[in-house]
Structure 1
Amino acid sequence: MANTAVADPNSGLTQAQLAQRHGLRVAGERPPLAEYTRKLWAYRHFMTAYSRAKVASSFSQTQLGQLWQVLTPLTNAAVYYLIFGVIVSSNRSVSNFIAYLCTGVFIFMFTQSAALQGTSAITGNLGLIRALQFPRAALPVTVTLVQLQQLLMSMVVLAAIVLLTGEPLTFRWLLIAPMLLLQSIFNVGLTMVMARLGSKITDLKQVMPFVLRTWLYASGVLYPVKLFREHLPHWAATLLEANPPLVFIELARYSLLESHQASLITPPMRLWAMALAWAVVMGVGGFVYFWRGEEEYGRG
């Protein structure tokens, strides 16, 4: 009724017509996608600074501080090696199993942490959202930047592990940079999807550890990828081999591990094609999905 009422008896214009004449817009209204993208880019310095501050503060209350960025994946890799490398003896059919396992754990944790933290990207920043007007996509992007900075610290340790276990330093190591770029784009889109879902489904964060654990076992992190073809129907093995974390992990192993070249199930060019496809589909699709919910964030 407010939109149809005459706001100015002298002019005969309604409130909506007056607002349109003077360039006024509804507070929190979702802008067009192109405009939204430009606004998000304008906040790039904020996202960078905010992510650095979050990395610095995340371990500020611990005695070892940011060293935990390296200790956490190393501890996980040690536990998985004890179970799958010593007790289960998965390493019998894998050359240099330690480097193979650590590469899988480090790369998978990048996506796992981004997805898990993404569920609270909106709900954990309601005060900031309600106090300031900015593109809400900056928050899930910041989550990915935080995880990327932590991964880069871990990659230094991973490089040392790979060299100490007998792998040579080759020019193929340079391929790790475009692989991480594609995985980062994929993670940004995934984090945006999880952020919007997490803002709607309050219990999602409680369910995610179970989902991510299943995803871990389906990504060839802990055992040879060839086991999929040996123990699963062809269609199921093909589906799992297209699993995005597995694709990124296999590309990382292809880049860093000379001993893994002969055991690649999927040709490198196909892996790169799948990685590019996943980055585009999830990156663009996740961004559009998050943008469509822009007006919902922080309401209620």
Structure 2
Amino acid sequence: MLCIDKWVGRCCHTYLVDHGYDFEPAAAASPVRTNALLGFPADARVVIINLDDFGMYPSINAAVIASIEAGIAGSCSLMVPCPGAQDAMRLLRRKPEIPFGIHLTLVCDTTHDRWGPLTARERVPSLLDAAGELFSPALRPELLARARLGEVELEFRAQIDTVIEAGLAPTHLDWHCLADGGRDDIFDLTVGLAEEYGLAVRAWLDPAREQLRHRGLPVVDHDFLDSFQLDLDGKAARYAQLLRDLPAGLSEWAVHPGLGTEEARAVDPDGWRVRQTDHEFLTSPEAREILQEEGIVVTDYRAIQQLWLARLT
């Protein structure tokens, strides 16, 4: 189990606690089975190190690319409505070897350079707050109470289609600030879209993981780690210990690298330190040395996507 430390961010952990998730390991997880599906030995320690929020703003984009090319991360997730998304897609076109998913976005968690839906606002009124903007993380309960599934589908399709029309090939779908979509019907909608577009889906919680396991699809065996959970003090040492303690089977870390630029400090005053320290560890010699010493395998959603394609066709 990846232990949960103090939450210092704005998104996923608060939502999960509010909805009763206790962060205990899933009893039905079977590392041997998951490793077998992915073609790894039963005792292999496998981790997806996925970099969320690619496209939020340019200094995040630069850190994401560096953390994959010069660091230990294996993939990233693109926020299509954000101000830095066009720059991120340009980078992905230049670097087609980088696997990435689509970080489906219904929430805006910045006060500067705010983003909105890709769909015309008059077509998705249930996704907007009283000011006609995307909801903030603090208002997620209101968003989830109001959001009409048809309007969610319109916006999700707009985000996926924008990526496809840019000539890019994503591997999977996940969500920004809404673990497993936030509602059962949104999760089911996302799985349906994944099947239609030939993608995988990130599932972190039960019963979503159980639903996919019953369909013969690989999911993570252990509780996910979101880098906003970790204290800033001693963070590198904490990351190092988590790697050394990584259990057999498939784990996933959602990490949020960024650079501590003036832009980042202005746009993301509550998060830039988390992002900067994530970037520092991911690109450190120590991180790579630990992977080698411990025999840890870093994978990404390409293998999972292929299993989705094989089992759902």
One fold, TM greater than 0.5?
A: no
Choose between structure 1 and 2: higher strand proportion: 2
TM-score, with structure 1 as normaliser = 0.28
Larger radius of gyration: 1
Q: RCO greater where, 1 or 2, for CA within 8 Å and sep 6 or more?
A: 2
